[in-house]
Amino acid sequence: MRRGRFGRIVQAGLLAIGVCAALAQTASAQDRRQNEPGKFDYYVLALSWSPSYCEASAERAPNRAPDQQCAGRPFAFVVHGLWPQYEKGFPSYCQVPAPRLDRAIVGSVLDLMPSPRLVFHEWDRHGTCTGLTPHAFFEAVRKARAAVKIPDDYFSLDKPRTVTPAEVTDAFVKANPDLARDDFAVVCDSKRLTEVRVCLTRTFTFRACPEVTQRACKLERMAMPALRGG
> Which among 189, 85, 193, 104 is positioned nearest to 144, based on CA atoms?
85
Q: How far apart are CA 108 and CA 95, in angstroms?
A: 23
Q: How far apart are CA 127 and CA 135, in angstroms?
A: 10
Q: How far apart are CA 81 and CA 32, in angstroms?
A: 23
Q: Which residues are catalytic?
A: 80, 122, 126
Q: At 116, is the secondary structure helix, strand, or coil? A: helix
Q: How far apart are CA 204 and CA 176, in angstroms?
A: 13
The pairs formed by 179-186 with CB atoms below 8 angstroms and a separation of 24 or more are 179/148, 179/206, 180/206, 180/208, 181/213, 182/208, 182/209, 182/210, 182/213, 183/207, 183/208, 183/209, 184/209, 184/212, 184/213, 185/212, 185/213, 185/215, 185/216, 185/217, 186/216, 186/217
